[in-house]
């Protein structure tokens, strides 16, 4: 597996945990290409501004929870897949579990496709 894609996945999780708006936006600008996309069952965000807005909304909805990688990052060529958890720090069970596929171009994320495996009951 490419250590570059491992690093991108780790930085991706870090961005979702960054609650300071200016620091988060700086990290997004470093991690994503300008025209990058993020798509999951609930949103189709195009461009870094829309991605930042999406992350801020998720952080507001799940305040105090943190994202973490749930296992190893599997990658080949310019594509990585990984499972992640969202839960309270130190909790035994995550509230949300997801699976993402990330596509890199020129060392930055060009597209991320998210899938939700476990979500809280409404």
- pLDDT score recorded for residue 121: 83
Q: Residue 97 class from Cβ within 10 Å (0-12 exposed, 13-18 middle, 19+ buried)?
A: middle
- pLDDT score recorded for residue 1: 44
Q: Which residue has the tokens 């596509």?
A: 103
Name the residue ranges covered by the structural domains of the chain: 3-118
Backbone phi, then psi, for 100, in 5-degree steps?
A: -120, 150
Write down the CATH number for the domain with range 3-118. Answer: 3.10.450.50
- pLDDT score recorded for residue 2: 66
Return averaged pLDDT per consecutive 10 residues of the chain, 122 residues in all: 85 98 98 98 97 98 97 95 97 96 97 96 76
How far is 17 from 41, CA to CA, in rounded Å? 20
């Amino acid at each position: 597996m490419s250590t570059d894609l491992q690093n991108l996945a780790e930085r991706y999780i870090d961005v979702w945990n960054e609650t300071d708006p200016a620091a988060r936006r700086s990290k997004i600008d470093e991690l994503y290409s300008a025209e990058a996309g993020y798509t999951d069952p609930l949103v189709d965000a195009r461009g870094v501004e829309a991605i930042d807005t999406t992350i801020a909304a998720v952080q507001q909805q799940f305040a105090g929870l943190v994202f973490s990688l749930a296992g190893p990052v599997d990658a080949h060529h310019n594509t990585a897949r990984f499972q992640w958890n969202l839960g309270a720090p130190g909790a035994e069970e995550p509230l949300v579990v997801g699976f993402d596929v990330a596509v890199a171009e020129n060392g930055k994320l060009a597209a991320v496709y998210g899938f939700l495996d476990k979500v809280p009951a409404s």
